[in-house]
Chain A
Amino acid sequence: NAGVTQTPKFRILKIGQSMTLQCAQDMNHNYMYWYRQDPGMGLKLIYYSVGAGITDKGEVPNGYNVSRSTTEDFPLRLELAAPSQTSVYFCASSYSRVGPDTQYFGPGTRLTVL
């Protein structure tokens, strides 16, 4: 299993440009998440999905959009990049069950907006 994969690893954007961060998992996990990590901070939840076709906002959703057309893929879209979106973005997935679950993280995408 590759686990959770993310592309690209690095990207530099100009203000106002758009891009999609890709995330895929091959563990047949229902739940997927996008977090951002700012310097000196822990991760904050941007969006999450509990299954194909079902997405919802997390703690810091402004400026982002997501879609979930398949179980495996959960792309994150930045429509109008702003310097405040400079961050490291992590995708995670987990297997849903009644009790608590463990989230498995991808390697991250480091995004710089200039």
Chain B
Amino acid sequence: AQSVTQPDIHITVSEGASLELRCNYSYGATPYLFWYVQSPGQGLQLLLKYFSGDTLVQGIKGFEAEFKRSQSSFNLRKPSVHWSDAAEYFCAVASRISSGSARQLTFGSGTQLTVLP
């Protein structure tokens, strides 16, 4: 069965500092990977996704993520964090539901990011 692990429950960084959020996945087939961000009281917004090709993917708001198959990882990075980046971040892997074409997202438990002024 597929699973996603986000080892860091809570991360605190200073504004302007760099950021890396860790994500490890377990999935037997080709992984389709996502990072979503959730601001308080809001829904999930897609930051970026990896389906195939270049293992370094760019997303919105200056975020990027690198897929490393050998490490089963898909870590999210940002060179300089802004106060508005404070939110909860979820990594997810898509997997087929039974034998059909639909896929469900299996999420990690999230990483809460606090940004200090």
Residues of A whose CB lies within 8 Å of any CB of B are 4, 31, 33, 35, 40-45, 48, 50, 56, 58-59, 90, 92, 96, 98-108
Residues of B within 8 A of A42 (CB): 4, 90, 92, 106-110
Q: Interface size for chain B: under 10, 10 to 19, 20 to 34, or 35 or more residues?
A: 20 to 34
Q: Is B84 an interface residue (CB 8 A)?
A: no
Q: Could you tell me if A106 and B43 are in contact, using CB atoms closer than 8 angstroms?
A: yes
Pair A103/B105 contact, Cβ less than 8 Å: yes
The 3 closest A-B CB pairs, nearest first, are: A42-B107, A100-B32, A107-B43
Chain B residues within an 8 Å CB radius of A45: 97, 104-105
Cα–Cα, bound, A41→B45 (Å): 17
In Å, the complex CA distance between A44 and B110 comes to: 13
Q: How far is the CA of A75 from the CA of B75 in the complex (A)?
A: 35
Per a CB cutoff under 8 Å, which of A43, A102, A104, A107 touches B42?
A107
B103 touches A101 (CB 8 A): yes
Q: Tell me if B51 counts as interface (CB < 8 A to partner A).
A: yes
- Among B9, B46, B101, residue most surrounded by chain A Cβ atoms (within 10 Å): B101
- What is the minimal beta-carbon distance from B78 to any residue of chain A, in angstroms? 21
Closest CB-CB distance, B11 to chain A, in whole Å?
A: 15
Cβ-defined contact, B103 with A102, below 8 A: no
Closest to B103 in A: A100
How many angstroms between the C-alpha atoms of A31 and B100 in the bound complex?
12
Chain B residues numbered 67-117 whose CB sits less than 8 Å from any CB in chain A:
90, 92, 94, 97-98, 100-110
B56 at the interface (CB under 8 A from A): no
- Known A-B contacts A100-B51, A102-B34, A107-B43; the reply to A43 vs B101 at CB < 8 A is no
Distance of A98 Cα from B51 Cα, bound (Å): 13
Q: Are B43 and A48 in contact (CB under 8 A)?
A: no
A3 to B, closest residue via Cβ: B43
Is B44 an interface position by the 8 A CB rule? Answer: yes
The residue in chain B whose Cβ has the minimal distance to the Cβ of A91 is B43
